[in-house]
Amino acid sequence: MIKILNISSINNEEWLELINSSPTATFFQTKDCYDFYKSLSFLEPFLFAVSENGKLEGVMCGYIISEGGKLKQFFSKRAIVPGGLLLSQHITDESLHLLLTTAQKELQKKAIYIEIRNYVDFKSYIPTLKETGFEYYAHLNFHLPTPSKEIVWNNLSKSKRRQIKSTLNAGAIIQEAVSHEDITEYYKLIADLYKNKIKLPLFPAEFFEQLSHSKFAKILVVKLNNKVISGITCVMLNNKTIYEWFVCGDDTTNKNIHASVLATWAGIEYGIDNGFKYFDFMGAGKPNTGYGVFEFKSKFGGSLLEQGRFLYVNNRLLYSVGKLAIQLLQKSKK
């Protein structure tokens, strides 16, 4: 018998067992992540799960979010599933189909679209997702194995090794962000990056404040002359994978300072020192788009992966209008 579960009926021990055994497990499908979403005031978490013959087989955890005033919220409300789905090795097509269609039905009036952002390979599940109306599109990522500092350092490009050394030689230091002042300075850098370069919405400062107090995350900052010049926000899964959720830096100080490079290295080094197997860059853009972040991330020695994303549109008209509005907004800021 196949049965749909929700957050009140899911067995937490079974959930943890599935995290430990599933080939598609990521931090973003854990109870810790769901509880973190729930602690935030600006988004609405959701969770759907499926069991078959009394055994937990799949979990979909994500959040609904929008920005701005009432009009902008109307056109920007979306359901995001970071990390992909948490699936058992033996999940049946029937169970997966029910999990997906339940999510579609429950989110139909709550979000314009559902986007599943994969951080592992889900290509074998494409047929079932397509049957339920999800469209697959290519999206790149880098995974960096972290067996030892020596191996990882030698696999960096020469330019990245040189930039890390020159930034450290200039007096920059890496430390954990523990004070409110550190988080505030770091957030200002991220906000400036998203507003002026990336031109996409950013979580409020509350997100970083809350995350800095959690047991599953580290926010590391780079300081020069007691001023935060860059930082990285990482979350972790079972000493297996450390994820680069956000990274930013002020690289305009002088030609010997490469703040964002050192911030990225800080996250990688933390992963090595604490026994993680992989550093996940959490995305490198679409193929063949000339994405600058792709070039930046490609120099750290990781393996290029095409893990893709899945998209299901609940309201085609609102989706098209919202997409056009974002494109016009980005062009206006150039």
pLDDT band, very low/low/confident/very high, at 122 (cuts 50, 70, 90):
very high
In this prediction, residue 86 carries a pLDDT of 98
What is the mean predicted confidence (pLDDT) over 258-262?
A: 97
Distance CA 75, CA 79 (A): 13
Q: What tokens does 232 get?
A: 């990285």
- Predicted local distance difference test score (pLDDT) of residue 255: 83
Across the range 158-187, mean pLDDT stands at 96
Tell me what pLDDT residue 72 has.
78
Backbone angles phi, psi at 331, to 5 degrees: -65, -35
Is the pLDDT at 321 greater than 90? The verdict is: no
What is the pTM for the complete model shown?
A: 0.94
Helix segments in the chain, DSSP class H: 12-21, 31-39, 70-76, 93-107, 126-131, 149-155, 158-169, 180-193, 205-212, 259-273, 292-298, 316-332
274: amino acid identity, one letter: N
25-52 per-position pLDDT tens digit = 999 999 999 999 999 999 999 999 999 9
Computed over every residue of the chain, the mean pLDDT equals: 94
User: Domains plus CATH for the chain?
Assistant: 2-139+307-332 (3.40.630.30), 142-306 (3.40.630.30)
Sorting pLDDT into bands at 50, 70 and 90, what band is 199? confident
> Residue 331 — pLDDT band, cuts 50, 70, 90?
low
**Encoding tokens for residue 117?**
């952002």
Please report the sign of the dihedral spanned by the C-alpha atoms of residue 219, residue 221, residue 226, residue 229.
negative
Reported as a pLDDT band with limits 50, 70 and 90, residue 327 is low
The rounded percent of the chain whose pLDDT value lies above 70 is 97
Percent of the chain predicted with pLDDT > 90: 85
Predicted confidence at residue 175, as pLDDT, reads 97
- 271-290: per-residue pLDDT in tens? 999 999 999 999 999 998 77
Tens of pLDDT, residue by residue over 211-257, are: 999 999 999 999 999 999 999 999 999 989 999 999 999 887 778 89
